[in-house]
Structure 1
Amino acid sequence: MVDTSAAIRRGHPIIFILFTALSFITAVIASTLVSDYNSNNNAPSDGVNGAVRFLVFCGWWGFLFGILFTVFFLTGKGGILTSIAGHGIWIFLTWLFFVAGAGALTNNVDGSCGNRGPSFPYCNSVKALEAFSWMAWIILTLMLGIVAFVGAGSFRGGRSVKEGLA
Structure 2
Amino acid sequence: MADFFRWAHPLFFSIIVVFAIIELSISAWLVAKYNARHNFTHRSLRTRVRYTLFVSIWTVLFGTIFLIMFLVASTGFILTSIATHGIFVFMTWVLWVAAAAAVTQSVGGNLHCSTQTEFVYCGHLNALIAFAWMIWIFLTFLLVAIIVRGVIVVRRGEGYGGGLVDE
TM-score, with structure 2 as normaliser: 0.92
Any idea what the Cα deviations from partners look like across 1:70-103, whole Å, max 9, x if unmatched? 1111102582122100000000000000000000
- Structure 1 or 2: more helix by fraction: 1
For 1:137, give the aligned amino acid.
Answer: W
Unaligned runs of 5+ in 1: none
**43-52 or 77-86: which moved more?**
77-86
| Match for residue 102 of structure 1 among 90, 100, 103 | 100
| Percentage of matched positions with identical amino acids | 36
Asked if the contact 2:70/2:79 (under 8 Å) is kept, the reply is no
1:93 aligns with 2:91: yes
C-alpha displacement of 1:113: 5.5
User: Could you tell me how far apart the structure 2 residues matched to 1:154 and 1:138 are?
Assistant: 24
Code of the residue aligned with 1:53 in structure 2: it is R
- CA distance in structure 1 between the partners assigned to 2:10 and 2:79 by the alignment: 15
Which position in structure 2 is the counterpart of 1:126?
125
Greater shift after overlay, 32-41 or 9-18?
A: 9-18
What is the DSSP-based 3-state SS (H/G/I as helix, E as strand, rest coil) of the residue aligned with 2:11? helix
Task: Give the Å deviation of 1:45.
Answer: 1.2
Tell me what 1:36 maps to: 33
Instruction: Report the TM-score, using the length of structure 1 for normalisation.
Output: 0.93
Q: Which residue of 1 aligns with 2:137?
A: 138
Matched residue of 1:43: which SS?
Answer: coil
Distance in 2 between residues matched to 1:164 and 1:46, nearest whole Å: 44
Deviation at 1:51, TM superposition (A): 1.1
Report the equivalent of 2:22: 25
Aligned residues: 162
Partner of 2:71: 74
Moved segments of 4+, more than 6 Å: none
